[in-house]
Amino acid sequence: MAKLISIFVSFFVVVQANAFTLSVSNGAFFTNNEVRINVADNCQNSGYTASGLLSLAVEASEQFWNKVPTSRLRLKQGGVVSVAGAFRTDSICSSDNPCVPNNSLIHTQEILISCNINATNFPSTSIIALTVPNNVAGQTINAATLLINDNVSNQFATKSRPEQISILAHEIGHAFGLGHSPVKDSLMYFQSRATSFRLGWDDIDGITYLYPVEQPFSGCGTVDLNQSGSGKMGPMIFGFLFALLTGLAFRKKALSGLFSGTRSRK
């Protein structure tokens, strides 16, 4: 019996609890399986043209989020779009703590990457990007805005390409509904870690929680004990019952030996 207890204890010790947080408090997410990333044509100091930045974002999606087999979400390339001047100059929030989205920056482009120079968004060059799902209805994210610091001497332009991909992947995680993670090897870790080049288990748990793969429906099945009709389940079900009875008999024998052994020690 002590051996059985130790097995159960070992099992429960390795179970991990989810640590990820969510961008929106009610767990909002995109309802579509495919979400498109678009880029505004308003960048001047990022080091990229709009089309180059779009390619970078697609690479970030493919390298990180689109590889998760337990998630139905697939991030797709959108296009280069023209936006109002407010996307470059305005604060993303009309009030802070919590952020109330600025109506001037609400759009319908699913995920929109824009360059921005607002001092409230970026009080220092060390803040590279900022993302808010700012078009939300109930538990549905309709669109999110990802702003890149485009002030002169911004740090995004000085990063290596792999670092830039990692930064965009982190911000895209916020865009589709993930908050920060306290787990250090996670892409969504709450402190800046531009050298994260793969997802951690907490990232995978988070995207799977928001966008789980649905089990396919393959139609109805039957069990035909009399093998009438075209069913092939008769031999299978009897094989299953035989295996079950054999297992029960083996268990009974094992328990008998266990209890007899206990008695012999007294």
Task: Please write the tens of the pLDDT for every residue from 222-265.
Answer: 565 565 544 444 444 444 444 444 454 544 444 344 334 333 33
CATH classification number, 19-210, choose in 3.10.310.30, 3.40.390.10, 3.20.20.70, 3.30.2130.10 = 3.40.390.10
- Average of pLDDT values for 191-199? 76
Residue 133: is the preceding peptide bond cis (ω within 30°)? no
Closest CA to 82 of 45, 60, 57, 107: 107
The angle at the Cα of 81, spanning 76 to 84, to the nearest 5 degrees, equals 135
Domain coordinates in residue numbering, the chain: 19-210, 220-255
pTM for the structure as a whole = 0.76
Q: Using an 8 Å Cβ cutoff, are 173 and 68 in contact?
A: no
Q: Using an 8 Å Cβ cutoff, are 38 and 53 in contact?
A: no
Q: Which residue has the higher pLDDT, 4 or 207?
A: 207
